[in-house]
Amino acid sequence: MTENKTTEMQRLEILRLSNAESNRITKTCIESAMILLMKDKCFHDISITDIVKRAGVSRTAYYRNYDSKEDILRSVMKEIVDKVIVAMNLRLPIQNTYDYWYSLFHMLQQHADSLKILLMANFGDAILNEIHSIMQSSVSKNSIQENYKSYFWSGAIYSVAASWIRDGMQQTAEEMAKICYQIIDHMNEDCHSTQKE
């Protein structure tokens, strides 16, 4: 009897894992379909029917995972921001190194199509808020300076990244890393020379 119970529990666990994997694949298909559709159509002109047809999923599968088209873009945005954060290990204090900046621009380059679409769909504020929210999680709640520092860095990172993407990424990731490193380095030098005077 115990062996049957164990076998049944194992079968249920396999089924649960299989359902989770199936759900993940469904979400990936829906998100990919939305990005592909937005390359050809305005966000507001895309219907749920368009999305499910392109994704090859049912309306039930769509509504099991999302409440709206905006939810799809939020999910895409969060996934990209999370990947950027992991690549940069974005926590305060920011480390002004070439590798730090390169990891940002290299990761942005990998997700350029999706990011362009998110920016065109007016998700810039949502991206900025997501970056700031993650940075805030590592800041002491009692430190006003650290709080504003997280606003400064999240705003700076978002502004430079969004401009680079909107301008068609004319510079390479390497060039952008060098530019950002030098800007921060010069700011530090200027601050130190001003303090000495």
Q: What is the pLDDT of residue 86?
A: 81
CA atoms within 13 A on the CB side of 106: 13
Q: Are 21 and 103 in contact (CB under 8 A)?
A: no
- Considering the segment(s) 68-197 as one domain, its CATH architecture is Orthogonal Bundle (1.10)
Pinpoint the residues of the chain covered by CATH 1.10.357: 68-197
Interior angle at CA 26, CA 24 and CA 29, nearest 5: 110
Pinpoint the residues of the chain covered by CATH 1.10.10.60: 1-66
Determine the Cα–Cα distance for residues 101 and 123; give it in Å rounded to an integer: 23
Average pLDDT per 10 consecutive residues for the chain, totaling 197 residues = 66 68 88 93 94 95 94 93 80 69 92 92 91 82 84 92 96 96 81 58
Q: Are 107 and 83 in contact (CB under 8 A)?
A: yes
Q: What is the pLDDT of residue 20?
A: 76
Determine the Cα–Cα distance for residues 193 and 197; give it in Å rounded to an integer: 7
DSSP 14-27: HHHHHHHHHHHHHH
Q: What is the pLDDT of residue 46?
A: 95
Q: What is the pLDDT of residue 5?
A: 64
1-66: CATH class: mainly alpha
DSSP 80-131: HHHHHHHHHT--SSPP--HHHHHHHHHHHHHTHHHHHHHHHTT-HHHHHHHH
